[in-house]
Structure 1
Amino acid sequence: MRRRDLMLAAAAAPLAAARGAPLRLRIPRVSAKASSGQSYPAVLLAQALAAASMPATLEPTADYIPQQRALLELGADSRLDVVWTMTSVERERQARPIRIPIFKGLFGWRLLLALPEQAARLSAVRTLAELRQFSMLQGLEWPDAGVLQANSLNVVTSPSHDVMFRQLRLGRADAFPRSVEEIWWELDRYGQGLVVVPQLCLRYPAAVYYFVAPEATELAAALELGLQRLRATGVFDQLFAQHHGADLARARLGERRIIELSNPQLPPQTPLDKPELWYRP
């Protein structure tokens, strides 16, 4: 680890030497929850760069940017410098990932939003075969839609996050799988008439990374170096618990029936062999 630390510090050195004032980094508003510079990914990003001796000023975009479009807008001549999103083979072809899962895999732990009558039926599901009899709502370009389809689930896609909850209330799909990190916030704000399905949880391996432009090697090295240092000092886990502890306590994952799904979109370089990087209840 010490050798890796030195290599990353050397790779980040040109960027450190070139800066005078704090580094200016343009980041996206990827959702209503993440619109604030005080969101978990933004706070972690700033602290990681500070730990790499490269303090930064974060500048969120004024408008929301869909995840796929945000990846396409990375680079000095575009709108963004850093994006965080779920990885896939295709996304790692488009941009450079920093392969430390910042949510420790939480986006692969999925609870279901549904109307009460559907929730009662779904709560009795025990196998993937039984789950295939229900339709799942997902975003049109979300990697999760491909994960569910690869497991032969019936997926109804929508181009707009804002209308999905209305579609669910209208019965256009039976359930809306949401990550543990998202579901309680969305239930409070958009979930009128909906409930979280009791007893059931879906799980598949999924990593949300920071991504930078392919040519941004110094920035990538600084981010990896800072994240590794935060992990070594315990700050990473402290921030994770501070931002997600309440959601995890409310989800009570250890008491739920878990249906495991495969994720064929997951790149082979994903560090699944490092259990310290992943959350387990």
Structure 2
Amino acid sequence: MTLSKYIFAAFISCLLGSIFIVKPALAKDVVILNHPASETDSRYQYSFELMKLVMEQTKEDFGDWEITHSDVFMTRDRVLNELISGKIINVMAEAPKVGWNESLIPIKLPIRKGIQGFRVFIIKQQHYEEFQNIETLAQLKNYPTGSGIFWSTRKALELAGFDVIVGSSYDGLFHMLERGRFTSFGRGINEAYDELDSHTQTFPNLVLDDKVLLHIPLITIFYVSPNQPELAKRIETGMKRIIANGQFDQVFYQQYCQLIHKAQLNNRVIFEIDNPLMEKDELIRMRQQGLMLSPTMNFDEVCQIYTD
């Protein structure tokens, strides 16, 4: 074979070879979230739906995806250890806690604009009139209040001088309230109405106070296992995209405007306490970027934009 024929044959061989090279498909990203505590626990539904939007927004450059739940519900102390491993659960939507930012990969973009820090109180019917007379924070502190043992708001309440009675389980706190172990059970306005509805049959004596709102600066962010940095990169990329293109605000306000109106913030006495787990500079930055809400803002105006 002459040299020219050899070169031509080699060129054709390389050309044909390149045609049949198949680019390997990107591996599917699997997001494993915590299982709900019970059939009445709706706390994680919004973060589940938001994660679906985040993953779909990044499909073209990060590949296919799947979202599933852990086989069993895990308390927040166990969740941290399992998140570090990344085998049973690898993503959690949660408020900042001691050690979490250092042990996990935090995506510091609030997924609920701080609305879970707008705390209203589930109480027993017999205390409704008493709460109607509350005008000062000192009066509110006179009533023992319930909290989960690992909840981020517990520390803020204790430092502010509240008498905090701790329960070990989510459903157990409703039983404790019914039995009079404490007087009030503070919940975010994104949680309170659904929770009260789902527990009405079991606890018909529980009602929602409509006089007081306690504002605790509080965010929920996605935490990702340190063993899954690429998944963390994908989630952060997706969150930034839906914030920039307006989809995040659309989803958020469509989800929560009805509850915001229902809470009648303008008619409530609003108190505020500090949250030691929120850095003040970071809080200011988030508010300036429109990522955090104030309980005194004009929600009628903003909700009209997204819900008409």
> TM class by shorter-chain length?
0.7 to 0.9
Percent of aligned pairs sharing the same letter: 25
Mapping for residues 201-280 of structure 1, pairs under 5 Å: 201-267=213-279, 270-275=282-287, 276-280=290-294
Matches for 1:164-179 after TM superposition, within 5 Å: 164-179=173-188
Q: Distance in 2 between matches of 1:41 and 1:153?
A: 30
Unaligned runs of 5+ in 1: 1-16
**Which residue, out of 43, 48, 56, partners 1:42?**
48
Task: Kindly provide the CA deviation profile for residues 140-172 of structure 1, in whole angstroms up to 9, marking residues without a partner as x.
Answer: 121111110010100111102112112112211
Q: Secondary structure at the match of 1:177?
A: strand
* Residue in structure 1 matching 2:26, options 14, 20, 41: 20
> Under a length normalisation based on structure 2, what TM-score does the superposition of the two structures give?
0.79
Paired with 2:180 and 2:211, the residues of 1 have a C-alpha distance of 22
Deviations 1:94-114 (A, max 9, x none): 322100110110111100011
Shift of 1:64: 1.6
Larger Rg: 2
Alignment of 1:128-139 (within 5 A): 128-139=137-148
Distance in 2 between the 1:19 and 1:59 partners?
A: 21
CA contact (8 A) 2:116 2:218 kept: yes
Q: How does 1:91-106 map to 2 (within 5 A)?
A: 91-106=100-115
The whole-number CA distance in structure 1 between the counterparts of 2:39 and 2:47 is: 11
Q: Is 1:163 aligned to residue 169 of structure 2?
A: no
- The aligned residue for residue 113 of structure 1 is 122
Partner of residue 6, structure 2: none
Q: Secondary structure at the match of 2:30?
A: strand
The total of aligned residue pairs comes to 265
Question: Where does the alignment leave 5 or more consecutive residues of structure 2 unmatched?
Answer: 1-22, 298-308
Q: Distance in 1 between matches of 2:127 and 2:24?
A: 58
- Give how far 1:62 is off: 2.6
Tell me if the contact between 1:136 and 1:153 (Cα under 8 Å) persists in the aligned partners.
yes
Q: Evaluate the alpha carbon distance shift between residue 32 and residue 245 of structure 1 in structure 2; reply closer, same or farther with a 3 A threshold.
A: farther
Instruction: Assess if the C-alpha contact under 8 Å between 1:97 and 1:211 holds in 2.
Output: yes
RMSD: 2.4
In the alignment, which residue of structure 1 is the partner of 2:192?
183
Cα distance change of structure 1 residues 52 and 35 upon mapping to structure 2, 3 Å threshold:
farther
